[in-house]
Amino acid sequence: MRTLQVDLGERSYPIYIGGGLLGRAGEFFEQHGLAKKSPVLIVTDDHVAPLYLDTVTKSLSEQGYRVVSKVVKAGEKSKSLEVFEDVMTAAIEGGLDRHSAVVALGGGVVGDLAGFVAASYMRGVSFVQMPTTILAHDSSVGGKVAVNHRLAKNMIGAFHQPKMVLYDVDSLQTLPIREVRAGLSEMVKHGLIWNAAFADWCRQHTADLLALDPEALGYGLTQGCSIKAQVVSVDEREQGLRAILNLGHTLGHALEAIGGYGEFLHGEAISIGMAAAAKLAVNRGRDLSIYEETVSVLKGFGLPTAMPQQHDEHAIIAAMMHDKKFKEQQLVFVLPVEIGKVEIVADVTLDEVRRVIAELKEEGQHV
Amino acid sequence: MRTLQVDLGERSYPIYIGGGLLGRAGEFFEQHGLAKKSPVLIVTDDHVAPLYLDTVTKSLSEQGYRVVSKVVKAGEKSKSLEVFEDVMTAAIEGGLDRHSAVVALGGGVVGDLAGFVAASYMRGVSFVQMPTTILAHDSSVGGKVAVNHRLAKNMIGAFHQPKMVLYDVDSLQTLPIREVRAGLSEMVKHGLIWNAAFADWCRQHTADLLALDPEALGYGLTQGCSIKAQVVSVDEREQGLRAILNLGHTLGHALEAIGGYGEFLHGEAISIGMAAAAKLAVNRGRDLSIYEETVSVLKGFGLPTAMPQQHDEHAIIAAMMHDKKFKEQQLVFVLPVEIGKVEIVADVTLDEVRRVIAELKEEGQHV
Ligand SMILES: NC(=O)c1ccc[n+]([C@@H]2O[C@H](COP(=O)([O-])OP(=O)(O)OC[C@H]3O[C@@H](n4cnc5c(N)ncnc54)[C@H](O)[C@@H]3O)[C@@H](O)[C@H]2O)c1
Ligand SMILES: NC(=O)c1ccc[n+]([C@@H]2O[C@H](COP(=O)([O-])OP(=O)(O)OC[C@H]3O[C@@H](n4cnc5c(N)ncnc54)[C@H](O)[C@@H]3O)[C@@H](O)[C@H]2O)c1
Ligand SMILES: [Zn+2]
Ligand SMILES: [Zn+2]
């Protein structure tokens, strides 16, 4: 087991990464002093519940915890206010009180949803992340929680740090391959924004990672979590540095929204977004190799890097204008400077974006 | 104009109390450095909008602010996730960004609703309170924001302090008398929990307060806000002392919920709740005079102190068990020790509550 620490003063917490951890959940709960008298609510989805809910429930129960659970439908559409309300109902009916904990058992969808429930149930209760996707190495760290608004992604949320992250890498073995690829997209992102050597390592270990080789996976996830934790420790509430984590997300979020949160997986959308950011940087004078290398590593993982033909630029741009990153007719973008290093620019014009969209649509036609 | 300060470190803020302040909103915004480039969203209700929305909009616009507004239906029912989503839609469509401010122009309902929007829009933007009810001298101070769940009141919310409270007491002149009475209920509460002399002053100035005499009102509201601010400064997130502000609320919230948030005004419900708390204290050995004086001052303001006949004790108790103050078959109550002083007890049994409900129903039959 590897342990990382997210340093946030009194809100600091550990990330445990290893095998067999879900079956030891009760032990970790006790060790972290989570209240036994108050019910614990596990939030999970209908893909994860049949696989891992019993294991966690059993472990917690054996340690003397009272457990209630709420299973939501799998998929991004569950990150809605409607489902949020359903989970709240389960929390109230389950008798959760101020000393209760809410557990997210699942991927980033369940994490973001359950996290916002934990942030706002009775104005805030304890929160524990038990990520079960590769993508969630990103989403489970850093305390950003949210649900989507029909018009824009992650629009309604909070900063609410977990008490701990219990990352059982064994659970990743049951992931569908499309989810594996999508999750690796955020891992690559962590290399691209922070550490060229790690980006290169990802490229060299593409096959091992796709094959879910435990050694490679353990190393890659630890690196990814560690980069995320470092960035968040410097800037918890995104006043500055933290924004670099949004590489690929300006366009990615727009694609998710216009796809009705069902067409693209988050990791797929930001893969296209990262390709677009690299292209934009090149159009602004950076070396062409940045775009080529970005696209090459992403394609290696079977991720999309061309713009989908079926959405016109107007729809994409309209969605971007609703994003948190739009201000005064200009867009904030994270752009690569070189592999492993990015900058935040706040003056990207709609024309530049239109050009990149057109160029990445072109790419699509050559495939 | 009187100015009070709520001391909360970097989250400290002033409360301005005086006449003509809504017409000077722009000036105060500028003075507090609120961003001019980002749209401001005013949230108000359909009783308040025709009276004061233009004044505030005009003042902000003249000072160079871009204003959008959202008018919700008046009444407690607007403190719902549904209306919350509507306000979020207005915020997105209005183009609010991270530097925008959300303004609550109205009573506690608009304050709590808009406050939760400000807390969670893009994970938190600036918030300004412009209270227009007497009750809101309480709700606008302290940063508790929330919406209701069908099963329990204020269940979904956050702590989100405003940047300032702009309390234009002129606006109170248009209040319906029932709202005047309900608002004075929280003013009396501030005397009962903290300051016997102020409780006595309220009793002596009952007629002036009901007549909305500016002198009496200005003094009473300043005292009320000041007590609230003192308590909140000591304990922002209700780890201890702040709970005394819940005098009358354990039962009061239950009455609001079973009345479908339409039968009792909040101030009326907690008036009954304060009478019940005093009765409970007497049943536990406190001097009978505590109950008599509590009821006498509340009745002086025309507030209800007997239990409504139409709700049976089972429904009331079931609703209390969903409250934030229920734990392990026992209820947390704030009980008077003497006028001006309360204690928090966590071991009130359901039997004791049943007895008090029965006794206060009896009272109702003698009226
Ligand atoms: N909060 C943050 O900082 C942050 C960061 C990145 C992404 N996100 C969010 O995370 C979400 C995406 O997360 P995700 O990709 O994990 O999506 P997800 O939660 O939808 O999980 C992907 C799919 O895999 C299934 N699944 C999960 N674990 C499984 C397992 N062990 N075995 C088999 N199937 C399993 C799920 O049921 C789902 O169908 C997006 O909403 C995104 O916005 C948040
Ligand atoms: N956040 C807190 O700390 C806190 C504290 C106490 C109460 N509250 C909440 O406050 C709410 C009650 O507040 P309220 O009593 O102000 O209710 P309210 O906001 O519903 O206002 C009462 C009524 O008066 C009308 N009104 C408001 N200002 C007016 C004016 N100047 N002229 C004419 N009509 C006017 C409103 O339209 C409404 O019909 C409850 O939801 C309660 O839970 C919150
Ligand atoms: Zn992401
Ligand atoms: Zn109240």
Rounded Cα distance, B44 and B41, in Å: 10
pLDDT digits (tens, 9 = 90+) for B14-66: 999 999 999 999 999 999 999 999 999 999 999 999 999 999 999 999 999 99
Catalytic annotation on B24? no
Contact A132, A52 (CB under 8 A): yes
A76 contacts: CB under 8 Å, gap ≥ 6: A109, A148, A256, A261, A262, A265, A266
Chain B 276-335, residues with CB within 8 Å of chain A CB atoms: 322, 324, 326-328
Contact B298, B305 (CB under 8 A): yes
Higher pLDDT, A150 or A127: A127
Please report, for chain B, the start and end positions of each structural domain, with discontinuous segments joined by +. 2-174, 177-365
Residue A177 alpha carbon to ligand 1 centre in Å: 13
Calculate mean pLDDT across residues A286-297. 98
Give nearest CA residue, ligand 2 atom 9: B108
Q: Are strands A164-168 and A13-18 parallel, antiparallel or unpaired?
A: parallel
Which burial class, exposed, middle or buried, applies to B63 when counting CB atoms under 10 A from its CB (0-12, 13-18, 19+)?
middle
pLDDT digits (tens, 9 = 90+) for B243-278: 999 999 999 999 999 998 889 999 999 999 999 999
Catalytic annotation on B299? no
Residue type present at position B290: I
Q: In chain A, what percentage of residues exceed pLDDT 70?
A: 99
Pocket test for ligand 2, best of B21, B42, B48, B113 (most atoms within 8 A of CB): B48
Judged by average pLDDT, the poorest of A1-5, A291-295, A314-318, B145-149 is A314-318
Nearest beta carbon to residue B155 from set A116, A121, A156: A121
Rounded Cα distance, A141 and B217, in Å: 50
Largest Cα separation within chain A, whole Å, is: 61
CB of A52 within 8 Å of any CB in chain B? no
Taking the CA atoms of B49, B51, B54 and B59 in sequence, report the sign of the dihedral they define. negative
CATH superfamily placement of domain A177-365: Dehydroquinate synthase-like - alpha domain (1.20.1090.10)
DSSP type of residue A121: B
Q: How many CA atoms within 13 Å lie on the side-chain side of A261?
A: 16
The confidence band for A171, taking pLDDT boundaries of 50, 70 and 90, is very high
Contact A166, A16 (CB under 8 A): yes
Q: Where are the beta strands (DSSP E) in B7-113?
A: 13-18, 40-45, 67-72, 101-106
The confidence band for A367, taking pLDDT boundaries of 50, 70 and 90, is low
What are the backbone angles phi and psi of residue A128, rounded to the nearest 5°? -130, 135
Phi-psi region of B304 (alpha: psi -120 to 50; beta: other; left: phi over 0): beta
Ranges in chain B, pLDDT < 50: none
What's the CATH code, domain B2-174?
3.40.50.1970
Flag whether the pTM goes above 0.90.
yes
Catalytic annotation on A181? no
ipTM comes to 0.93
Q: Which atom of ligand 1 is nearest to the CA of A52?
A: 31
A14 contacts: CB under 8 Å, gap ≥ 6: A3, A4, A5, A6, A164, A165
Distances (CA, A) of B190 to B106, B177, B183, B276, B281: 21, 20, 12, 17, 18
Rounded Cα distance, B316 and B353, in Å: 10
A158–B120 CB contact, under 8 Å? yes
State the catalytic residue, choosing from B242, B279, B286, B325: B242
pLDDT digits (tens, 9 = 90+) for A203-243: 999 999 999 999 999 999 999 999 999 999 999 999 999 99
